[in-house]
Structure 1
Amino acid sequence: MLTKRLPAKLFWPKFDKTWPLKRGEEPRKKIAFAATNFSVERFQKAYQGKNSFSYFDIPTSCLNQQMNQKRQAEYIAGRLCAHQLLFDFAVNHAHLENDDKKMPVWPKGIIGSVAHCYPYAVVMIAKSKDYQSIGVSIVSRTESRTEFSLSSNAAYGVLTQAEILRFATHLDEITLALICSIKKSFIKATSPLILSYLYFDDVNVVAIDWIQGNAELVIERDLGGQWRKGQSFMAQFDFYHSKVISMLALPRQLGFELMFP
């Protein structure tokens, strides 16, 4: 188990721990944030020719042989952000392994979420006594102009018909990227709890408050147990280095309108 920081002689990236969702209030029960730049060039220079996983002493079992250099840098940057936050929480831990869905297995008492959008990796963690789950997502606004072009089929894979009608008067690439990010954060927060995969059309964004930086979502179908059609959630969002970042946290009590009790 890791009980101290990695050796100082290693290339240790700089972490941005400033709370990124500045439009709204910070949660009263702590959610920690860290981000770092995983530029392939910077990481390659730091490795000094060594394999990136062995350089940081990350088990090769975490290495997917199909990972290119960019994906390796992305993976490692996310794990380093997570380790930094776990150190800040004084949580003894080993390198985060993946479960069968390739999601990180967090230490006991911790919940968290990792997201990437080149060249940034972002992580949020919290204590499981405060939150059931958390989802963070970051989406590039510039990439959305091509990846989620309003004229493309991808746009209609993100939006429900109700959303197309609801946001028709101001449905630009930024709004589309925001809706995509919000839905991703919802899916990442809820998937571990319902033990099934969700899709973009399983949730409907019904309101966006650009001033306060929050959005309301509604489930479009029964997901089993306490997860019922029509149940609403609140997500927060803001812009991070010209990218859209969003977060949805589920408290221990299921009063979702009180996201930060």
Structure 2
Amino acid sequence: MQENDIACLAFPKTSHLLFAQKALPQNQEDQFAFLLKHQGSISCFKSLSETCPITRKIEFLTGRILLKDAIKTILNDEIVDTEVGIGSSGMPLWPGGIIGSVTHTKRHVCVMVGLSQEYLAMGIDLEPLISSEKSQELGPLVLGASEIDLYRQDLSAMPFNQFFTRCYSFKEAIYKLLFPQIKTFIDFKEIVITNINPVQDAILAIYRPLIANQFSGHFLEGKSFNYKQGIFSYILLSKTR
């Protein structure tokens, strides 16, 4: 696969998990050339509205191509149909035996896939570094008092916008992890970051929903680190948990 960065990222080294990323074409000429070359390779691409912006079409198509190749690689099967469809709520419809997650910015698409016999769910998020002004503006909507205390007491050497971006990105990854399981809206304040270890790229949160479900009170541990001029976060829910 092209641009597979798994060797240099903080992922478990296992044949049951695969990460891939690809840069998106930025100028209009390259964008139209990409669509012309690849739009016939993904059947569910036709389900996108004709009025859908070209940038959204390219993000979608790039993600589905990456997923298709990644699934063939992890299954070690070049023949099996590995296309990821569109399920309810626009969520990916994974082929049998596979679970995964997708994230994108204006410049990159990242995917992660794993074997469903090994993983119940996974969530990834790539977030451009949020500005200091925007971090201050969005802080009250995303962070609770205990998270502000965590920053002031333990992490004040880190610029606040980097702390905020890490928290936001990890909460987004948790949302992607949990939503397919509980199919319920998750307020980011229901996810409380309890620890960040920048040296080990580790991050820990507890999920405290207003309406109890099977994940209420669970501690959720993942990774969050600098990547592609932003913050990349991921969390895996193993079936052996």
TM, length-normalised to structure 2: 0.86
User: Which shows bigger deviation, 98-107 or 26-35?
Assistant: 26-35
Q: Check if 1:232 corresponds to 2:219.
A: yes
Question: Is residue 2:145 matched to residue 1:161?
Answer: yes
Q: Which residue of 2 aligns with 1:247?
A: 234
Offset of residue 232 of structure 1: 0.6
Q: Distance in 1 between matches of 2:149 and 2:167?
A: 14
In structure 1, give the amino acid aligned to 2:20. A
Secondary structure in 1 matching 2:88: coil
- Say which of 94, 105, 110 aligns to 1:106: 94
User: Does the 8 Å contact 1:185/1:248 carry over to 2?
Assistant: yes
Identity across matched positions, percent = 17
Q: Contact conserved, 1:134 with 1:247, CA < 8 A, in 2?
A: yes
Q: Deviations over 1:191-218 (max 9, x none)?
A: 1111212121111011000011110110
Measure how far apart 1:126 and its partner are: 0.2
Change (3 A) 1:20 1:104: farther
How big is the shift at 1:155?
Answer: 2.4
- Relative distance call for 1:15 and 1:43 in structure 2 (3 A) is farther
- Candidates 70, 75, 80, aligned match of 1:85: 70
1:239 is paired with a residue whose SS is strand
Q: 2:192 aligns with which of 204, 227, 242?
A: 204
The equivalent residue for 1:64 is 49
CA–CA separation in structure 1 for the residues paired with 2:8 and 2:222: 11
The 5-angstrom pairing of residues 177-216 of structure 1 reads 177-216=165-204
SS at match of 1:234: strand
SS at the partner of 1:244? strand
Cα deviation, residue 94, structure 1: 5.2
State the shift of 1:167 in Å: 0.9
* In 2, Cα distance between equivalents of 1:174 and 1:145: 9
> Mapping of 1:129-144 within 5 angstroms?
129-141=117-129, 144=130
User: 2:12 maps to what in 1?
Assistant: 26
Inter-CA distance 244–86: structure 2 relative to 1 (3 Å threshold) = same
Unpaired segments of 5 or more residues in structure 2?
none
Return the offset for 1:119. 0.7
Whether the 8 Å contact between 2:42 and 2:65 is mirrored in structure 1 is: no
Q: CA deviation at 1:228?
A: 2.2
Q: For residue 156 of structure 1, report the CA deviation from its aligned partner.
A: 1.9
**2:4 equivalent among 17, 37, 40:** 17
Shift of 1:25: 5.9
- 3-state SS, counterpart of residue 170 of structure 2: helix
8 Å Cα contact 1:34-1:85 kept in structure 2: yes
Cα distance change, pair 20–177 in 1 and its aligned pair in 2 (3 A) = farther
Over aligned residues, Cα RMSD in angstroms? 2.3
- In structure 1, distance between residues paired with 2:222 and 2:100: 16
Q: Distance in 2 between matches of 1:20 and 1:145?
A: 30
Q: Any unmatched runs of 5+ in structure 1?
A: 1-13, 255-261
Shift of 1:43: 3.0
